[in-house]
Structure 1
Amino acid sequence: MSDVADIFVSFAHVDDQPVANQQQGWITHFTNDLRGELNRRMGRKDNYHFWKDFRLKGNDAVTPEIEQQVTQANTLVILFSTGWMASPWCQRELELFQSSHPDLSKRIFVIELERVAMLDKPVIIRDLLNYPFWRVTDKDRVRQLGFPVPQATDSAYYERLVDLSHDLANAIKSLRASTAEPIEAPKATVYVAPVNDSLYSQRQSVISELRQFGIESLPRANSHKVADMETLLTQCSHFVQLLDANYTMGVPYDQHFIADAAKKPILQWRDPKLDYSGGHVPDEQRQLLGGKTVIAAPLSDFIRMVREAVLPKPKQPDDETPKVNGAQMVFVHAAQEDYGRADSLANKLCDKGFSVVLPVYQGKPERIRTSIERGYQRCDVLLMLYLQASPEIVDEFLYDAQAAIVRRESKPRILICQDAQAEGLSVRLHGMKTWVCHNNFDEHCLEQFLAEVEA
Structure 2
Amino acid sequence: MAFVPGYEYDVFISYAHVDNICFPDQGDGWIKQFYQNLNLMLAKRSGRLDSIKIWWDTKKLDGSVLFDDSIAAGIEKAAIMICLNSPGYKASKYCAQELDLFHKKAAGEPGGLKAGQQTRIFHVLLNNIPHTDWPDELQGSTGFPFHDGEDQHDFGDTVETTSAQFKAQMRHLKDAVFRALETMQKEAGSASAPTKPKKLAGKKPSTAKASAAEKAPATNTESVASDEGFTIFMSEVPDTLRSPRKRIISELEKNGYQVLAGIPPPDAKEELQKETEAALQTSGLAVNLLDIYPGREVVDAPDVWYPQFQTELSLKTEVDQLIWIPADSDFAEIEEGEYRNFLTKLEEGELTKKRYEFIRGSKSSLARQIMDYAEVIKSKSAAPIEDDGEIPVLLDAHENDHLYALDLGRSLLQNQFRPFINPQEDDPRKNLDLLGKRMSQVRKLIFLYGNVSKDWVLERMNAALQLILTNNYPIEDFFIYMAPPHKEAGDISINQRLLKVNVIDNSNDPTLTEQAVDRFLKELKLQAG
Q: TM-score, normalised by structure 1?
A: 0.42
Structure of greater relative contact order (alpha carbons < 8 Å, 6+ residues apart): 2
